[in-house]
Chain A
Amino acid sequence: EIVLTQSPGTLSLSPGERATLSCRASQSVSSSYLAWYQQKPGQAPRLLIYGASSRATGIPDRFSGSGSGTDFTLTISRLEPDDFAVYYCQQYGSSPLTFGGGTKVEIK
């Protein structure tokens, strides 16, 4: 099973700042089969990125994903008030699919 480790656990930033979230896999994720989700309190996760770098439908271009192999990054170029939430990565390169433990982006 591929273990995904997200860092940092919490990111304290101000609106307008750039957020860089890391997702590291315990072994290589084949073909960059990695997704990112945003989750707000009391809501279901929302797909942001799939295939490591493809934005899902309706996702603003301030969200971008990059990486391959074992190291992946989600970047939010300029944080807006609506972006403060928990972010999860998920791999679907090998079964069982697994999620990272999440990074909380909070208002500084």
Chain B
Amino acid sequence: QLQLQESGPGLVKPSETLSLTCTVSGGSIISSSYYWGWIRQPPGKGLEWIGSIYYSGSTYYNPSLKSRVTISVDTSKNHFSLKLSSVTAADTAVYYCARLWRSGSGSPGINWFDPWGQGTLVTVSS
């Protein structure tokens, strides 16, 4: 059974870079069938797609965050990572990682998410 687990600092100072890793277990990140993605949810609010990556390193970002986001993959460690630069209080959220199917969508890099990691709360505060 595939499982995803987010890890990283729970507190980041304003203007610094948020860094998270999603470790995949129970399956390989190297698959032609899937993308791997990040989604966030501010406390009490809705969901926002951050971006997705294919195991080859191809990335797809939400334009609203693209200038600050870098997603990378390390196939040797079976994990992928998120970096979000110049954070502000508005970036405080629960950050989720998830798997996406690679086929059957309207555009590369997007699809439905299943399964999801449990999520990790990142607070931006000095």
Let me know if B116 is at the binding interface, CB within 8 A.
Answer: yes
- B113 to chain A: closest residue by CB: A47
Chain B residues in 8 Å Cβ range of A43: 118
Chain A residues in 8 Å Cβ range of B96: 44-45
Chain A residues in 8 Å Cβ range of B49: 96-99
Chain A residues in 8 Å Cβ range of B107: 92-95
Q: How far is A56 from B96 in the complex, measured between Cα atoms in Å?
A: 19
Binds A, one of B7-15, B25-33, B60-68: B60-68
For residue A82, give the distance in angstroms from its CB to the closest CB of chain B: 18
- 9 tightest A-B contacts by CB? A93-B106, A44-B116, A47-B114, A35-B112, A95-B107, A97-B110, A99-B47, A50-B112, A96-B62
* Interface set of A (CB-CB < 8 Å, partner B): 29-31, 33, 35, 37, 43-47, 50-51, 56, 88, 90, 92-102
A-B contact pairs, 10 of them (CB 8 A): A30-B106, A35-B113, A45-B116, A46-B116, A88-B46, A90-B112, A92-B105, A93-B106, A95-B107, A99-B48
